[in-house]
Amino acid sequence: MPISDAPPLTRFLARLLRHSALSEEEQEVILSLNGQTVLASARRDIICPRTVDHASLVADGLVGRFEQMQDGERQITAIFIPGDLCDLHSVVCPTAEWALEAFGEAKILLLAHRDLRAVAMKHPAIAMAFWRDTVVDASILAKWVGNLGRRNARSRLAHLLCEIGLRIEQARLGSRTTFDFPITQTQLGDALGLSSVHVNRMIQALRRAELIERFDRRILIKDWDRLVAIAEFDPAFLLGDSAIDRIHDEPAGRFRSQENLRT
Amino acid sequence: MPISDAPPLTRFLARLLRHSALSEEEQEVILSLNGQTVLASARRDIICPRTVDHASLVADGLVGRFEQMQDGERQITAIFIPGDLCDLHSVVCPTAEWALEAFGEAKILLLAHRDLRAVAMKHPAIAMAFWRDTVVDASILAKWVGNLGRRNARSRLAHLLCEIGLRIEQARLGSRTTFDFPITQTQLGDALGLSSVHVNRMIQALRRAELIERFDRRILIKDWDRLVAIAEFDPAFLLGDSAIDRIHDEPAGRFRSQENLRT
DNA sequence: CGACTCTTTGATCCCGATCAAGTTCAGTGG
DNA sequence: CCACTGAACTTGATCGGGATCAAAGAGTCG
């Protein structure tokens, strides 16, 4: 009963092509993967993989990955938008169980590990692309560590908005300054390591400073440059669109001389 | 002028084998990689890759990866011990520049991207192992996000000590309760998102509670279980030693039925 | 209409930052 | 051998960002 699976896979492929070069044939292989579409309803709907045998491709809506503390508190460790494959890592580490929750209503395409692994083993370039996708994810994660550890509430919020805006633009789902973002302030707090009360106050602060507007379910960034400045946002970590590595062969592997290093 | 390169590569291979199955031949391929050994002297010694063409394998000492804020503050995003390949991600994303600093004196083996990439392209199992290694790194990163976002100073410190202890034990560099850890309290603060002053006080608190001892350059954990409890430490995220994926072929790819999911 | 979830606002509290000395200790050079 | 230096560690006093508690709007849905 597959509902139109094509669009999500097309988006996923587009995401891969943003950082990796794939041949016509390899692209075809990705597009011809098949999976099962499911709806993750309501907020708080949890997809809890436990030695699971499939990966989850976001077809529609917003999905968060989170850590649960013993006292029930949550920390969101990633936010996924349509075209993102939340679980790609689980293809190589099925035991790594990272819980997922849908923000609002989400549509998800489940892809079997078995198929993904087969594809990766057969096509080295696809394996590299999958690996690279995991690296992009990790890069964002490292940035979040920096934000949580060393920035105040205002900058953290600003940074998250910049990040999401840019990712949405890259994914052709909207512009960096105007996009849907159906997430509650409590969830925002869980992502930023803040209480929902304080998130509310920070949003108001940004609104009063004429930086953002209309903050329900939809963001409008009125002054991108100033928001970027507050966030100390440097888009490099998203590893997007740059000629990241179309280079499968680069100049001879000599070692760069480095100061501070003695052989 | 290669000084004995063998041990670090052996350690790296051991690390890979902890999560991935490799054939004799594939193991041989890893061990016969060659690189250049360098010393990163003193603390604050920085290896700053910028579209760099090699990856850094820690042969000896401790290395940290960090983010630098505009005001000069740092946030450490990963701590690497001997046998860790800090830069593996850079093989697929050479533009992802994550700064590295040596804690104390460190010996590093530089491996050319060119070689690593060639090896990965030729041997799918090695590519998967590399990818998996990146996933382990990301898993730790996600845990750090959880700690920074939702735990207090005491738990964070306890968690880091548990993590390092266990990783050192896995790497056969010591036991989880007794190990060298040559890091200053300022650096510890940079890793935990705390000021050095507060790190100092938390260490004293743990010491007073008879949980740890002798905190200079060397850790002795006196009550592992209680420390684990304070940290809410669950070693699963290290993805170590378990039979993670010796399974290159698992049962037919059916989808697990899941509550909360409607097709 | 009530029930529920989300947002908003105010009051108070506390964890951890910051500021400012002081102490220890390994060099290092006279 | 001792004075000088500089990096770590320690301690105390004070400050403030954000948590927490409490309660009141504001949609939205059955």
Q: Which of B139, B143, B253 has its CB closest to that of A115?
A: B253
What does the pLDDT average to over A135-142? 96
Rounded (10°) CA dihedral B193, B197, B200, B206:
-70
Q: How many CB atoms lie within 10 A of CB A262?
A: 9
Cα–Cα distance for residue pair B79/B57, rounded to 1 Å: 13
* Residue A146 pLDDT > 60: yes
Q: Which residue is nearest to nucleotide D12 (CA to C1')?
A: B197
Supply the DSSP symbol for B175. Answer: B
* Secondary structure of residue B180 in the 3-state scheme: strand
CA angle A65, A70, A74 (to 5 degrees): 30
What does the pLDDT average to over B200-223? 92
Confidence of residue B258 (pLDDT cuts 50, 70, 90): very low
| pLDDT given at position B150 | 97
Q: Which of A95, A113, A253 has its CB closest to that of B112?
A: A253
* DSSP bridge partners of B110: B36, B56
Q: Among the listed ranges A197-201, B10-14, B105-109, which one has the minimum average pLDDT value?
A: B105-109
Q: B176 Cβ partners below 8 Å, 6+ apart? A: B162, B165, B166, B168, B169, B221, B224
Residues B148 and A80 sit within 8 Å (Cβ to Cβ): no
**What is the crossing angle of helices B185-192 and B196-208, to 10°?**
100
- State percent of chain A over pLDDT 90: 70
Cα–Cα distance for residue pair B221/B174, rounded to 1 Å: 12
- Put simply, the answer to whether A121 touches B120 (Cβ < 8 Å) is no
What does the pLDDT average to over A167-192? 95
A67-100 per-position pLDDT tens digit: 999 998 999 999 999 999 998 998 888 876 788 9
Q: How many CB atoms lie within 10 A of CB A3?
A: 15
Please give the single-letter amino acid code of residue B244.
I
Supply the DSSP symbol for A43. Answer: T
| pLDDT given at position B39 | 87
User: Which residue would you say has higher pLDDT here, A51 or A246?
Assistant: A51
| pLDDT given at position B209 | 95
CA of A240 vs chain B CAs: smallest distance (Å): 10
Q: How far is CA B65 from its chain centroid?
A: 10
CA of B22 to C1' of C13 (A): 57
Confidence of residue A255 (pLDDT cuts 50, 70, 90): very low
Cα–Cα distance for residue pair B135/A222, rounded to 1 Å: 37
Number of helices and strands in chain A (H, E): 8, 9
* Residue A248 pLDDT > 70: no
Residues B127 and B120 sit within 8 Å (Cβ to Cβ): yes
- State percent of chain A over pLDDT 70: 85
- Put simply, the answer to whether B53 touches A253 (Cβ < 8 Å) is yes
CA of B160 to C1' of D3 (A): 41
3-state helix/strand/coil string of B51-76: CCCEEEEEEEEEEEEEEECCCCCEEE
What does the pLDDT average to over B20-42? 91
SS3 content of chain A, % helix, strand, coil (to 5): 45, 20, 35
Please give the single-letter amino acid code of residue B228.
V
Answer yes or no: pTM beyond 0.85. yes
A19-70 per-position pLDDT tens digit: 999 999 999 999 999 999 988 876 666 776 656 788 999 999 999 999 999 9
| Best of B33, B86, B89, B92 to mutate (most A CBs within 10 Å, chain A) | B92
DSSP for A14-26 reads HHHHHH----HHH
Please give the single-letter amino acid code of residue A229.
A
Q: CA quadruple B111, B116, B117, B119: dihedral positive or negative?
A: positive
Residues A87 and A65 sit within 8 Å (Cβ to Cβ): no
Q: Which residue is nearest to nucleotide D8 (CA to C1')?
A: B184
CA of A230 vs chain B CAs: smallest distance (Å): 11
Cα–Cα distance for residue pair B28/A191, rounded to 1 Å: 44
Confidence of residue A245 (pLDDT cuts 50, 70, 90): very low
Residue in B closest to A2 by C-alpha = B263
CA of B25 vs chain A CAs: smallest distance (Å): 17
* Structural tokens at position A51: 């030695």
B219-243 per-position pLDDT tens digit: 999 999 999 999 999 999 998 765 4
What backbone phi and psi angles, to 5 degrees, belong to A129? -65, -40
Confidence of residue B4 (pLDDT cuts 50, 70, 90): very low
Does the nearest atom of strand D lie within 7 Å of A152's Cβ?
Answer: yes
Is residue A97 less than 8 Å (CB to CB) from chain B? yes
- Put simply, the answer to whether B53 touches A250 (Cβ < 8 Å) is yes
- Put simply, the answer to whether A255 touches B192 (Cβ < 8 Å) is no
Residues of B in contact with A114 (CB under 8 A): 250, 252-253
Cα–Cα distance for residue pair A162/A16, rounded to 1 Å: 21
CA B77 to each of CA B102, B140, B254: distance values in angstroms, whole numbers, following the listed order: 13, 9, 37
* Residue A170 pLDDT > 50: yes
Tell me which residue has tokens 């430490």.
Answer: B233
Q: Which nucleotide comes closest to B199 if you measure CA to C1'? A: C16
A197-235 per-position pLDDT tens digit: 999 999 999 999 999 997 768 999 999 999 999 999 999
What does the pLDDT average to over B123-131? 94
Q: Which nucleotide comes closest to A201 if you measure CA to C1'? A: C8
| pLDDT given at position B217 | 85
- State percent of chain B over pLDDT 90: 70
Residue in B closest to A115 by C-alpha = B253
> How close are the terminal C-alpha atoms of chain A, in Å?
62
Which stretches of B63-182 are DSSP H helices? 113-122, 124-150, 153-170
- Put simply, the answer to whether B131 touches A136 (Cβ < 8 Å) is no
- Average pLDDT across chain A, whole number: 86
Confidence of residue A132 (pLDDT cuts 50, 70, 90): very high
Q: How far is CA B59 from its chain centroid?
A: 13
CA of B208 to C1' of D5 (A): 33
- Average pLDDT across chain B, whole number: 86
Q: Which nucleotide comes closest to A207 if you measure CA to C1'? A: C8
Strand D interface, B 189-248, C-beta < 7 A:
196-197, 200-201, 203-204, 215-216
| pLDDT given at position A25 | 96
* Structural tokens at position B133: 């290694």
Cα–Cα distance for residue pair A80/A107, rounded to 1 Å: 12
Tell me which residue has tokens 């087969």.
Answer: A118
- Put simply, the answer to whether A253 touches B54 (Cβ < 8 Å) is yes
3-state helix/strand/coil string of A138-187: HHHHHHHHHHHHHCCHHHHHHHHHHHHHHHHHHCCCCECCEEECCCCHHH
* Structural tokens at position A122: 């057969």
Is residue B105 less than 8 Å (CB to CB) from chain A? no
- Partner A, chain B 199-238, Cβ-Cβ below 8 Å: 232, 236-237
* Residue B160 pLDDT > 90: yes
* Residue B189 pLDDT > 50: yes
